[in-house]
């Protein structure tokens, strides 16, 4: 399997499909999943003639289950290691949830300084800051994230069934069409990874203040968010992020869940393509 070895000797698994001379689109997955979560988008865009790349974050999927580095700085540096190894230029970086935070940190600290990024997309993304603080009084209280850690530590296998079966895809809403295969695939991806990486990743996605990352990004950036996102509330994320971005566009979707890239892939893919081609 293809791997890139980072400067701190972590093996990062990646997929690289499509023509090597085509414009690359790089996908960054959410917690606690893997690059497989982008299946619907990678197939769609490779069939449109793009080069599509996605990697498993350290401690997730098929990448090394290392003890250290489960923070946004390492996530972004690992992504840059893949980009450098594959010599990707003029790339479009698309991130979902925690992967959106990874994209914001990557573009701000690596992508723009290296001149390798053309555009960015934040899908149901965690920036600028999820945690409630004195400076962010609208955020979610710490006990919400403490509850996630407790559930993961007590019974990760059950927690990783309950989350996708409930709020992640909006399957807990009255009248929702529940897809058992989607639930099982979420569980499969989660259980491939390291429980330590997942536990520490909760701090990374909830406590990392990315206000300055967003302010420093100058490339065109599309922000997509479901209005019924029960995991990353739109008011705490997209509606704040768009005010910080210098060159941002916002599109929201009534009734769409946090997992809209999977259960509403037809709609999301069309909007991603329009932005990529713009």
Give the CATH number of the domain where residue 164 resides: 3.40.50.1820
Report the number of distinct structural domains present in the chain: 1
pLDDT, tens digit, for every residue of 141-200?
A: 999 999 999 999 999 999 999 999 999 999 999 999 999 999 999 999 999 999 999 999
78-102 pLDDT, tens digit per residue, is 999 999 999 999 999 999 999 999 9
Q: Return the pLDDT at 113.
A: 97
User: Per the residue annotation, which of 229, 236, 241, 257 is the catalytic one?
Assistant: 229
Residue numbers of the domain that contains 240: 3-277
Residue from 97, 194, 206, 257 carrying the catalytic annotation: 97
Known catalytic membership, residue 70: no
- Statement: residue 226 has pLDDT above 90: yes
**The model scores a pTM over 0.85:** yes
User: DSSP letters of the chain?
Assistant: --EEE-TTS-EEEEEEES-TTSPEEEEEPPTT--GGGGHHHHHHHHHTT-EEEEEPPTTSTTS---SS--SHHHHHHHHHHHHHHHT--SEEEEEETHHHHHHHHHIIIIIHHHT-EEEEEEES---S--B--SS-TTSB-HHHHHHHHHHHHHHHHHHHHHHIIIIITTTTSTT----HHHHHHHHHHHHHS-HHHHHHHHHHHHH---HHHHHH--S-EEEEEETT-SSS-GGGTHHHHHHH-TTEEEEEETT--TTHHHHTHHHHHHHHHHHHH-
Q: Is 96 a catalytic residue?
A: no
* Residue 1 pLDDT level (bands cut at 50, 70, 90): confident
Q: Is 97 known to be catalytic? A: yes
pLDDT digits (tens, 9 = 90+) for 67-83: 999 999 999 999 999 99
Average pLDDT, the chain: 98
The rounded percent of the chain whose pLDDT value lies above 70 is 100
């Amino acid at each position: 399997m293809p791997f890139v070895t980072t400067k701190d000797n972590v093996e990062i698994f990646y997929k690289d499909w499509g023509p090597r001379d085509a414009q690359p689109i790089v996908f960054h997955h959410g917690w606690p999943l893997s690059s497989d979560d982008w299946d619907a988008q990678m197939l769609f865009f490779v069939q449109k003639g793009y080069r599509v790349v996605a990697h498993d974050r350290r401690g997730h999927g098929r990448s090394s289950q290392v003890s250290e580095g489960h923070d946004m700085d390492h996530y972004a540096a690992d992504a840059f290691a893949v980009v450098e190894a594959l010599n990707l230029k003029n790339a479009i970086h698309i991130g979902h949830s925690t992967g959106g935070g990874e994209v914001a940190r990557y573009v701000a600290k690596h992508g723009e300084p290296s001149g390798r990024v053309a555009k960015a997309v934040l899908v149901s993304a965690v920036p600028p800051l999820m945690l409630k603080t004195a400076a962010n009084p609208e955020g979610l209280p710490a006990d919400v994230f403490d509850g996630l850690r407790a559930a993961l530590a007590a019974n990760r296998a059950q927690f990783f069934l309950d989350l996708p079966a409930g709020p992640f895809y909006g399957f807990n809403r009255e009248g929702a069409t529940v897809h058992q295969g989607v639930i099982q695939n979420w569980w499969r991806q989660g259980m491939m990874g390291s429980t330590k990486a997942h536990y520490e990743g909760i701090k990374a996605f909830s406590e990392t203040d990315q206000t300055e990352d967003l302010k420093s990004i100058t490339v065109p950036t599309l922000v997509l968010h479901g209005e019924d996102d029960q995991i990353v509330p739109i008011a705490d994320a997209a509606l704040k992020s768009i005010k910080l971005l210098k060159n941002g566009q916002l599109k929201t979707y009534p009734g769409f869940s946090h997992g809209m890239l999977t259960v509403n892939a037809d709609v999301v893919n069309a909007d991603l393509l329009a932005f990529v081609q713009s």
